[in-house]
């Protein structure tokens, strides 16, 4: 089941989180998961390819020195997307527990206000396949810093084989319909892009990622299914995220 949940909090005591707040939100989310189903939380924590993506902390506050300063009286929110039916059910249970709880986030204190889905309808993988219209060009916007790791090196450019390779890997890990893994995705071309790098601080390390937009195009002499595959994966990006640390606020993407 493909769905996006939004969780809202109100700051009762000011404080800070590092960078995007992804590490702190990840820990908070798993504390709720353990309450809902401890064994499932343990399995999720150890999974190599997790069936969810978690967005950054959003709301008013100053960003300075690698920290996000939370202000008392302000509301904040973040999203979590589900990539499987089991994850969707866990998120429903977390959302039911959410209202009225008081939590610590970084050095701040917050009250959990409400939680629920952001889309009017639930989608599944077959829905995305059925709705996809072959596209010779697609544009993706990288809303939060995005990065790829290759043999210990970070890749800071939206290369098609990394962007769509990341999406294909997640699709095949969690979806019921397998996409061809033998297709060389580097045949997809970058038509134009506008991007900049941004440093994301975590507690003990920092990661550099890129934000911006990139338009991809399919050359003329490719297998007939490639434009369809491009469209399917571009639509999937909204749910799966792209690249490294998508469960900690990085790699949030949408299709233009």
Query: Above 90 in pLDDT, residue 40?
Result: yes
The tens digit of pLDDT for each residue in 6-24 reads 999 999 999 999 999 999 9
Which residue, 131, 140, 132, is CA-closest to 162? 140
| Residue 73, domain extent | 3-117
Which residue, 174, 154, 47, 59, is CA-closest to 105? 59
Q: Which stretches of 14-66 are assigned E, i.e. beta strand?
A: 15-18, 52-54, 58-59, 61-64
Q: What is the mean pLDDT of residues 32-58?
A: 98
Query: Above 90 in pLDDT, residue 112?
Result: yes
Identify the pLDDT of residue 251.
Answer: 99
How many CB atoms are closer than 10 A to CB 235? 22
How confident is residue 32, by pLDDT bands cut at 50, 70 and 90?
very high
Identify the pLDDT of residue 175.
Answer: 97
The tens digit of pLDDT for each residue in 59-85 reads 999 999 999 999 999 999 999 999 999
Q: Cβ(244)–Cβ(251) under 8 Å? A: yes
How confident is residue 228, by pLDDT bands cut at 50, 70 and 90?
very high
Q: For residues 165 and 94, state if they share a domain.
A: no
- CATH code of the domain covering residue 111: 3.30.70.1890
Residue where a domain terminates, one of 60, 93, 117: 117
How confident is residue 227, by pLDDT bands cut at 50, 70 and 90?
very high
Residue where a domain terminates, one of 82, 117, 152: 117
CA distances from 110 to 12, 80, 103 (A): 5, 18, 5
Q: Which stretches of 47-188 are assigned E, i.e. beta strand?
A: 52-54, 58-59, 61-64, 67-70, 75-82, 102-105, 108-117, 137-146, 148-150, 153-155
Q: Minimum mean pLDDT among 77-91, 105-119, 142-156: which range?
A: 142-156
Which residue, 214, 237, 240, is CA-closest to 139? 214
Show the DSSP H helices in 175-225 as ranges: none
Enter the pTM of the model.
Answer: 0.96
Q: For residues 110 and 141, state if they share a domain.
A: no
Which residue, 177, 16, 8, 125, is CA-closest to 78? 8
For the record, the structure tokens of 255 come out as 């299709």
For the record, the structure tokens of 200 come out as 């994301």
Q: Tell me the Ramachandran region of residue 227: left when phi exceeds 0, alpha when psi lies from -120 to 50, beta otherwise.
A: alpha
Query: What mean pLDDT, rounded, does the chain reach?
Result: 97
Domain count, the chain: 2
Q: For residues 149 and 76, state if they share a domain.
A: no
How confident is residue 122, by pLDDT bands cut at 50, 70 and 90?
confident
Q: For residues 87 and 13, state if they share a domain.
A: yes
Q: For residues 215 and 137, state if they share a domain.
A: yes
Q: For residues 15 and 110, state if they share a domain.
A: yes
Instruction: Give the separation between CA 167 and CA 100, rounded to whole angstroms.
Output: 36
Q: For residues 218 and 105, state if they share a domain.
A: no
How many CB atoms are closer than 10 A to CB 123? 16
How confident is residue 221, by pLDDT bands cut at 50, 70 and 90?
confident
CA distances from 213 to 75, 113, 256 (A): 28, 33, 9
- CATH code of the domain covering residue 136: 3.30.70.1900
Q: For residues 199 and 229, state if they share a domain.
A: yes
Q: For residues 42 and 157, state if they share a domain.
A: no
Identify the pLDDT of residue 62.
Answer: 95
Residue where a domain terminates, one of 63, 96, 117: 117
pLDDT above 70 covers what percent of the chain? 100
Q: For residues 112 and 174, state if they share a domain.
A: no
Query: Above 90 in pLDDT, residue 236?
Result: yes
Q: For residues 142 and 239, state if they share a domain.
A: yes
Query: Above 90 in pLDDT, residue 153?
Result: no
Q: What is the mean pLDDT of residues 205-227?
A: 95
Q: Cβ(156)–Cβ(197) under 8 Å? A: yes
């Amino acid at each position: 089941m493909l769905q996006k949940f939004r969780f809202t909090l109100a700051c009762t005591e000011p404080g800070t989180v590092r960078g995007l707040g992804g590490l702190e939100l990840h820990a908070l989310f798993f504390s709720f998961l353990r309450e809902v189903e401890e064994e499932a939380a343990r399995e999720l924590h150890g999974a190599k390819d997790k069936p969810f993506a978690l967005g950054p902390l959003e709301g008013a506050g100053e960003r300075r020195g690698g920290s996000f300063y939370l202000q008392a009286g302000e509301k904040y929110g973040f999203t979590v997307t589900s990539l499987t039916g089991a994850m969707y059910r866990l998120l429903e249970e977390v959302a039911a527990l959410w209202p009225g709880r008081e939590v610590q986030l970084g050095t701040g204190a917050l009250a959990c206000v409400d939680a629920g889905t952001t889309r009017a309808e639930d989608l599944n993988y077959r829905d995305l396949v059925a709705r996809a219209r072959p596209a010779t060009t697609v544009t993706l916007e990288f809303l939060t810093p995005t990065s790829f790791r290759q043999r210990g090196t970070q890749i800071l450019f939206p290369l098609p084989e990394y962007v769509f390779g990341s999406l294909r890997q997640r699709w095949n890990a969690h979806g019921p319909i397998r996409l061809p893994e033998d297709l060389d995705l580097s045949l997809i071309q970058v038509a134009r892009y506008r991007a900049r790098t941004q440093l994301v601080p975590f507690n003990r390390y920092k990661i550099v990622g890129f934000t911006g937009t990139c338009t991809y195009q399919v050359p003329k002499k490719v297998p007939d299914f490639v434009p369809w595959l491009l469209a399917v994966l571009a639509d999937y990006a909204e749910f799966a995220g792209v690249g490294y640390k998508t469960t900690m606020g990085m790699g949030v993407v949408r299709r233009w």
